[in-house]
């Protein structure tokens, strides 16, 4: 596996792969790899000839009071893990490469970015779509793979790729969970032992919501109230949102059907913001 940091290098490598008729699979990340990231890399390896993983902690998707400065990173550890998964190129540009002086552009997907996480993290998704537009142009992928834990992010990326005619297949990959049920996330490294029960209330309350939807056939309002009650039993938890939406449009739904998706964002001790989601009737 080759580690590349410059724009000239990644562009010439990606172009060479294309000239050789090889299909490129892209896995964009911010590093601190866990099994969730590694499963995306393995999937890219299965689906394409050459896998490029990008590792860039994108400053423009963090708000002023968020965790940019403390975001976990360990390039050497990540390098070894990516190599084991068969990644061909690890592209780790620095801030100056991605955002040189006078950088002034912004990719904005209207509507989908105003709700859910977008409502409490203004500008976050513009940061995500802007960096991805650049990474897509730099790495020329045929396929790009993202985890479904960031369910809203995935919907926004699909919208951008369709709207802006990027010739890229966007694939989602199911959430990877710890045996406890906790959805894997780089931010789980912030959790202290005594915060684990509170963190588990997200996946446990989702399982409870699925049970209610399947067995009691209640409506969305009743499920949301039940989930809220479950989560707020933990004094460490403050709810950002609990929503049940249509999985394709992300618009709120009242009646539960096969496209209903529950999405949660919860802060643990006001320090760690965790998200989780699942289909209500599927899985
Ligand atoms: O999901 C992430 O890790 C980031 O939002 C992404 C897609 C790599 C863009 O910085």
Tens-digit pLDDT profile for residues 240-249? 999 999 999 9
Q: Is residue 180 a part of any domain in this protein? A: no
In the listed set 123, 144, 173, which residue is the last one of a domain according to the structure?
173
- Residue 30 CB less than 6 A away from ligand 1: yes
Confidence of residue 24 (pLDDT cuts 50, 70, 90): very high
Rounded to the nearest whole angstrom, what is the distance from the C-alpha of residue 211 to the centroid of ligand 1?
A: 31
Rounded to the nearest angstrom, the distance between the alpha carbon of 194 and the centre of ligand 1 is 28
Residue to probe by mutation, ligand 1, list 26, 53, 58, 82, most atoms within 8 Å of CB: 58
Q: 57, 68, 63, 65: which is closest to 118 by C-alpha? A: 63
Residue 283 lies in a domain: no
How far, in Å, is the centroid of ligand 1 from the Cα of 157? 10
pLDDT value of residue 283: 61
Q: Which two tokens stand for residue 139?
A: 């790495």
d(C-alpha 87, C-alpha 82), whole Å? 6
User: Residues 184, 176: contact at Cβ < 8 Å?
Assistant: yes
119 C-beta neighbours (distance < 10 Å), count: 12
Of 173, 199, 233, which residue sits at a domain end? 173
Query: In this structure, are 168 and 30 located in the same domain?
Result: yes
User: Do 111 and 240 belong to one domain?
Assistant: no
Which residue among 99, 128, 170, 175 is best mutated to probe the pocket of ligand 1, counting the most ligand atoms within 8 A of its Cβ?
A: 128
Burial grade of 197 (CB within 10 A; 0-12, 13-18, 19 or more): middle
Q: What are phi and psi of 212, to 5 degrees?
A: -60, -45
Q: Are residues 105 and 212 in the same domain?
A: no
Hey, which of 61, 95, 118, 277 would you mutate to test ligand 1's pocket, going by the most ligand atoms within 8 Å of its Cβ?
Answer: 61
Q: Is the domain of 111 the same as that of 145?
A: yes
* pLDDT computed for residue 86 by the predictor: 98
Tell me if 243 CB under 6 Å of ligand 1.
no
Question: What is residue 282's predicted lDDT score, i.e. its pLDDT?
Answer: 74
How far apart, in Å, are the Cα atoms of 179 and each of 176, 187, 189, 266?
10, 17, 16, 20
Return the CATH number at 77: 3.40.50.620
pLDDT exceeds 80 at position 49: yes
Query: 55 CA to middle of ligand 1, Å?
Result: 9
Closest atom of ligand 1 relative to the 128 alpha carbon? 9
Atom 2 of ligand 1, nearest CA residue: 29
181 in a structural domain: no
Q: How far apart are CA 86 and CA 89, in angstroms?
A: 9
Domain boundary among 125, 145, 173: 173
Which numbered atom of ligand 1 lies nearest the CA of 58? 10
* Ligand 1 contact via 61 beta carbon (within 6 Å): yes
Shared-domain flag, residues 8 and 146: yes
* Furthest-apart CA atoms within the chain: distance in Å: 58
Tell me whether residue 178 is in a domain.
no
pLDDT tens figures, 195-231: 999 999 999 999 999 999 999 889 999 999 999 999 9
Nearest CA to ligand 1 atom 9: 128
For ligand 1, the distance from its centroid to the CA atom of residue 170, given in whole angstroms, is 14
User: Looking at the structure, do residues 53 and 123 belong to the same domain, yes or no?
Assistant: yes
Question: Same domain for 135 and 231?
Answer: no
The secondary structure element, H or E, covering residue 262 is strand 260-268
Does residue 142 form part of some domain?
Answer: yes
Q: Is 276 left (phi over 0), alpha (psi -120 to 50) or beta?
A: beta
**Phi then psi dihedrals of residue 63, to 5 deg:** -80, 165
Averaged confidence pLDDT in the chain: 97
pLDDT 10s digits, 127-144: 999 999 999 999 999 999
CATH code, domain carrying 201: 3.30.1300.10
Looking at residue 95, what is its pLDDT?
A: 98
Q: Domain for residue 230, yes or no?
A: yes
Of all protein residues, whose CA lies closest to atom 5 belonging to ligand 1?
A: 128
Same domain, 105 and 81: yes
**Is residue 210 domain-shared with residue 142, that is, in the same domain?**
no
User: Using a 6 Å cutoff on CB, does residue 29 contact ligand 1?
Assistant: yes
Share of residues in the chain with pLDDT > 90 (%): 99
Q: What angle do CA 173, 211, 177 make, to 5 degrees?
A: 30
Cα–ligand 1 centroid distance for 68 (angstroms): 13
Determine the pLDDT at residue 277. 98
The domain in which residue 199 lies consists of 186-278
What is the pLDDT at residue 136?
Answer: 99
3-state secondary structure of 281: coil
128 lines ligand 1 (CB under 6 A): yes
198 and 128 within one domain: no
114 and 191: one domain?
no
Mean pLDDT of 12-23: 98
Specify whether 29 is located in the same domain as 134: yes
> What tokens were used for 59?
């400053």
Domain total of the chain: 2
> Residue 108 falls within a domain, yes or no?
yes
pLDDT tens digits along 239-275: 999 999 999 999 999 999 999 999 999 999 999 999 9
Q: Does residue 198 lie in a domain region?
A: yes
């Amino acid at each position: 596996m080759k580690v590349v940091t410059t724009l000239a290098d990644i562009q010439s490598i990606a172009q060479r792969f294309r000239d050789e008729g090889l299909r490129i699979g892209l896995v964009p990340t911010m590093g601190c790899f866990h099994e969730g990231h590694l499963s995306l890399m393995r999937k890219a390896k299965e689906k394409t000839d050459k896998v490029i993983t990008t590792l860039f902690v994108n400053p423009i998707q963090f708000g002023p009071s968020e965790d940019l400065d403390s975001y976990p990173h360990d390039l050497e550890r990540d390098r070894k893990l990516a190599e084991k998964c068969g990644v061909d190129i690890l592209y780790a540009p620095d801030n100056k490469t991605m955002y040189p002086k006078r950088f002034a552009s912004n990719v904005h997907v209207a509507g989908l970015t105003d709700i859910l996480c977008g409502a409490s993290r203004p500008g976050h998704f513009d940061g995500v779509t802007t960096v991805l537009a650049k990474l897509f142009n730099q790495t020329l992928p045929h396929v790009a793979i993202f985890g479904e834990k960031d369910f809203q992010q995935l919907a926004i990326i699909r919208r951008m790729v369709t709207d802006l005619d990027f010739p890229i297949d966007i694939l989602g990959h199911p959430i990877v969970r710890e045996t406890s049920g906790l959805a894997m996330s780089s931010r789980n490294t912030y959790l202290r032992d005594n915060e684990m029960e509170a963190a588990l209330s997200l996946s446990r309350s989702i399982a409870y919501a699925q049970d209610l939807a399947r067995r009691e056939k209640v409506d969305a309002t009743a499920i949301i109230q039940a989930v809220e009650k479950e989560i707020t039993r933990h004094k460490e938890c403050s709810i950002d949102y609990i929503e049940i939406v249509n999985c394709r449009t992300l618009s709120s739904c009242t009646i539960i059907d096969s496209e209903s998706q529950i999405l949660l964002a919860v802060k643990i001790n006001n320090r760690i913001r965790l998200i989780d989601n699942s289909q209500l009737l599927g899985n």
